[in-house]
Structure 1
Amino acid sequence: MVVAAVCVLALLLAAAGVRHFVTQPYRVPSASMEPTLRAGDVILADRASRGQAQHGDVVVFDGTGYFAPSAEGGGRYWVKRVIAVGGERVTCCSDSGALMIDGQELDEPYLAPGTEPSAIEFDLEVPDGRMFVLGDNRADSTDSRSMLGAPGGGMVPVDRVVGTVDRIVWPLTRAGAVR
């Protein structure tokens, strides 16, 4: 009986350790990341990338005080794509309609065909230690563009990144790596 209790406790501690240090599941709440992620998908965030952001990464971040006024109502964690990081100038849009990073057009193969990169025009420099994030479903996403006038200017501190999304685990028909 004692051995069984010790084994159960060890398994619970191992599961908690994996969730805290290795990977953590999240459910996608909306269509803002379609077609990459769909509402209801269960994703895994790689906790080894906590506090880091690179171009093109799909990240889970704590939006409290930046995207969500409080943690109430389940709006604490957000899933978006990193478009620009500290020190970069992000502009919408070029003459051909593309987003630009430091004057270079951004290739966005993850957008659905015919998707406009942004209906909101902007031209700004991302402060050091921050990131500019957008949903892949630009017509249905609350993201950095929508928060330009809010505290932080819609740019989230990179240290708020909980992890990089690397897999869809549910539903099984969509399970696999996130590109």
Structure 2
Amino acid sequence: MSEVLSWVFAILFVLVVIAWYLSYTAARVDRLHVRLSGTLAALDARLVRRAEASVELANSGLLDGATSLILANAAAESLEAPSEHGEARELAENDLTEALDLALTPEAVSSLRSTELGEDVLARLASACMRVQLARRFHNDAVTDVRRVRRKWTIRMFHLAGHTPMPHTVEFNDESPEHLAAV
């Protein structure tokens, strides 16, 4: 009888350890998904701030009319792009980066630096561009972590991620114009 009880306790112990491991792993996957949501929200906020700083530069009257129009249109498209990250959002952000490259030539930057308003607008834009780069990197690191953890066989076998779709990295050109970096 004692041998049967020891087997029952051993089996119960193993089941409790397995249940604890699965519960711990599910909580870890959930925490990673929460972190991922936070990094995506931060990236969205930084993209909006970059677009707003671009609109501010376009409306400052410090750039020529054509350049201001191109920059304002690209920033408006970025602000109006769908909030979910996909091809349309990435194209809008690429267009804004290209418009910033076009607007911020060395001559334009030196001209902007000659005024207090221009210096202020450039500083805000440089800060916004740098924060976009950091936010996108943090988000893509979080995506990599989630994907790495979700590839484990226990998570797939026991469906510990539920029906949450596999996240994807956000890919667009977020490089600051090289002349802006010197601000």
TM-score (norm 2): 0.28
Q: Which structure dedicates a bigger proportion of its chain to helix?
A: 2
| Structure exhibiting the larger radius of gyration computed from Cα positions | 2
Q: Which structure dedicates a bigger proportion of its chain to strand?
A: 1
Q: Which has the higher contact order (CA 8 A, sep 6+)?
A: 2
